[in-house]
Structure 1
Amino acid sequence: MNIVLLYTYALASLILFAGCETPKSKVHAGELKYPDGKYCATVDYHNPRTGTESSYILKVDIESCELIKIYWPNGGWLDNSHFTPTDISDGTASFESDLNVEYTVSLISEESECN
């Protein structure tokens, strides 16, 4: 009976502490590579309808290993009312907005290092 409890505890610990950490991460076990917060990111924009392509360095919000918001320099933002929160646990996320615009977001650094 004790061996079953030991295996159950080990499995629960593994699931609890794994988080969204990736194998290439150099952080301690149980820590997220990108904890919840604001980050600087390169945001590549492509509108297939017009052919417009642009690249920006912007602040973004990460929550539970998902990209949830992009902040534009003019005070506006793109959030879950415009796209489905996207996994960014490896530092990169791609998605299409509600207006069929394609975005690729690559995390650069913490917000404090963003200009």
Structure 2
Amino acid sequence: MKKTLKIITVALFGLLISCNSKTRKKTLDNTVPNISPTADCNLKDGKYSATIHCYKTATHYPKTQTLDVDVKDCEIIKIYLPNNKCLEANQLFNASIDENGIAVIDDDDGRTFEVAIYKSSLAP
């Protein structure tokens, strides 16, 4: 009985996420301003710690973790992934950071990253 309830819960959660993903993405596209690289994001160039929420559309798999990112000219140019891997600037699209330290980024693997940079980890 518990196993059946767990399976139903997971299935409903997956359905909810898949239904919300298009709406959520559309909402994000409408609410996140198109920031130019020259915009003042209040961050100096350097490495920062950030909370990153990743969502892969193909698998409907969300994941949130704290990772390091490199910032240059108010854009995220690198995301350091676990296991000594990273995503480089040529794999990231729409990586501009707003004045609150937030960026919504798509990558070449069909993932969407919502990045919130910790202001307390200001680069020197």
TM-score category of the 2 structures, normalised to the smaller one = 0.5 to 0.7
Cα separation, partners in 2 of 1:111 and 1:56, compared to 1, 3 Å: farther
Is 2:75 aligned against 1:66? yes
Deviations 1:63-109 (A, max 9, x none): 00111100013111011231136111420000211111111100013
Q: Any residues of structure 2 matched to 1:32-51 within 5 Å, and which?
A: 33-51=42-60
User: Where in structure 1 do 4 or more consecutive aligned residues deviate above 3 Å?
Assistant: none
Larger radius of gyration: 1
Aligned pair count reads: 84
Q: TM-score, normalised by structure 2?
A: 0.61
Cα separation, partners in 2 of 1:88 and 1:59, compared to 1, 3 Å: same
Deviations 1:35-69 (A, max 9, x none): 00000000110011111000010000000011110
Is 2:121 aligned against 1:110? yes
5+ residue gaps, structure 2, are: 1-37
5+ residue gaps, structure 1, are: 1-18, 23-32
Q: Distance in 1 between matches of 2:94 and 2:45?
A: 13
